[in-house]
Amino acid sequence: MKMGTGQLASLLASGFKGKVYPVHPTESSVLGLTAYPDIVSVPETPDLVVLVLPTDIVSRILDECGKAGVTAAVVVSGGFREIGGQGVAKEAELVEVARRHGITLVGPNCIGVSNFHIGLNTTYFPYDHEPGGITVISQSGTNSCHIYEYAKNHAIGLSHTVSVGNSALTDISDYLAYFADEPNTRAIALYIEGIADGRRFLEVAGNATRKKPVVALYVGGTGAGARAGMSHTGALAGDDALYDGMFRQAGVMRCYSMEELLDWTWALSLSPLPSGKRVCVLTNAGGPGASMADSCIREGMQVPVLSEALQSSLRAILPYTAATANPVDMTFLMDFNALYHEAPRILMESDEVDAVVMYCVFGANLFRTLMEALPGRIDYEMEKYFPFVMELLAKLAAMPQQYGKPLILSNFWGTQDNAPRFMAANGVPVYLTPERAVSAMAALCRRSDIVAGIP
């Protein structure tokens, strides 16, 4: 259960295909791999070293790495600036060693970096899910890697994660500048406790947001949050309004929770942006439709009454009990062609609608639960039925790119159900509650404003 063992195990479990050399002072084998007593014994110069060592020997070992030609290091060990006193001097020494050898240093007091597109994961926690488009740059190691299972459970795909730790040599602005041009990164999530060089952040972030959406969770704006950051990474937090203004000026979207950070960047990493704020709420259930409509207005979007012509196209394919004004409530409809294909297509094609939020695309879970609970009593042929539905869902999933308009789904079952999971895997985000879907749509609208230069 030691940190180093866990990190190595996680690296191996995440499918990294490159070579891995454990270095250990006494063991000849670690997790089945040949171990080496020191860096000079390793058969070749590694591209990256990860140091998980007692604080007092970190600088000496980094110096050995530098002499061996290493140019990049992640220092996981803590006990530096974040504890004050002697830790400050130890961190200065570490930086001096790194500078002397030209080593790019992540940390210290960090949990590592990940690039899921190549299976590189130097954190303690395995990532057992498809890579995606979200890159997380975090002043908390935990917030960069405890989220892997959360991401998997929500079908949210991550691209890279960086735990910057104490940012002794490289800080959040350096990573932001890098990932602004990194091709697999389509949205950037920042977790911030405090920014030392505000002027540089403003410049870098202003440049990054011209290329990609950036969302920030800043927790240092209250006394308690600032105290937490200080003891955690030694971050110097600042006035909340100051950060608010800085984010606004740089085009960074500010959120207030880890849920929003991942919900928003998920939609931003997948979806085309709306060209206006006219949202159509499409639903097969009244309550979630009403919730989504109400939330759209509270979030500053519009839910316009559809024209008579558009409503009459919808009425032609929907039951007489359906509502068509907007929300379009299809009611509990079992005509899957109307539900998943015709109704959304009519709306996506219309120039009255900039975006669609939809409840719900449901899959096989419900029927499976019933069939398992009542064996032999329900002879529902899922094998016959689902290929047909999946074909319709494939058409639905293609619509955002086809029409250049966002489609966001909501479904209480979540992506553990096969149909929502299919949609998520095919580029359409699915949120667990109606309000979260609307919140993500609002994030797309704000990003549209930022792109258009509207503050």
Q: Which of residues 11-40 bind a second copy (CB under 8 A)?
A: 12-14, 31-32
Binding test (CB under 8 A) with a second copy, winner from 21, 24, 48, 79: 79
**Is residue 388 a contact residue for a second copy (CB under 8 A)?**
no
Q: Is 312 in the site for a second copy (CB under 8 A)?
A: no
**107 touches a second copy by CB under 8 A:** no
- In DSSP notation, 80-123 reads SGGG-THHHHHHHHHHHHHHHHT-EEE-SS---EEETTTTEE-S
Contacts (CB under 8 A) with a second copy, residues 270-289: 281, 285-289
DSSP designation for 39: G
Residue of the chain from 24, 88, 118, 142 that contacts a second copy (CB under 8 A): 142
Residue 413 binds a second copy (CB under 8 A)? yes
DSSP string computed for 360-418: ----SHHHHHHHHHSTTT----HHHHHHHHHHHHHHHHHHHHHHT--EEEE-TTGGGSH
Q: Which single residue is written with the structure tokens 């600088």?
A: 59
User: What residues numbered 349-378 form the site for a second copy, per CB under 8 A?
Assistant: 360, 365-366, 369-370, 373-374, 376-378
Q: Which of 145, 130, 118 is nearest to 16 (CA)?
A: 118
- Residue among 284 and 448 whose Cβ is closer to a second copy: 284
Which residue among 38, 99, 199, 256 contacts a second copy (CB under 8 A)? 256
Following DSSP, what letter does each residue of 284-295 receive, concatenated? SSHHHHHHHHHH
Binding residues for a second copy, how many (CB under 8 A)?
95
Residue 155 near residue 421, CB atoms below 8 Å:
yes
Cβ 66 to a second copy shortest distance, Å? 26
The answer to whether residues 277 and 302 touch, using CB atoms and an 8 Å cutoff, is yes
Site string for a second copy, 187-226 (x = CB under 8 A): ----x-x-----------------------x-xxxxxxx-
Does residue 8 contact residue 21 with C-beta atoms inside 8 Å? no
Q: Look at residue 15 and give its three-state secondary structure.
A: coil
Query: Does residue 92 interact with a second copy by CB under 8 A?
Result: no
**Cα→Cα distances 444→259, 267, 397, Å:** 16, 7, 18
| Closest CB to a second copy among residues 199, 380 | 380
Site stretch for a second copy (CB under 8 A), options 43-51, 245-253, 329-337, 397-405: 329-337
Binding segment toward a second copy, per CB under 8 A, in 20-28, 40-48, 63-71, 75-83: 75-83
The answer to the question of residue 146 lying near a second copy (CB under 8 A) is: yes
Name, in order, each residue with C-beta under 8 angstroms of 27's C-beta and a sequence gap of 6 or more. 35
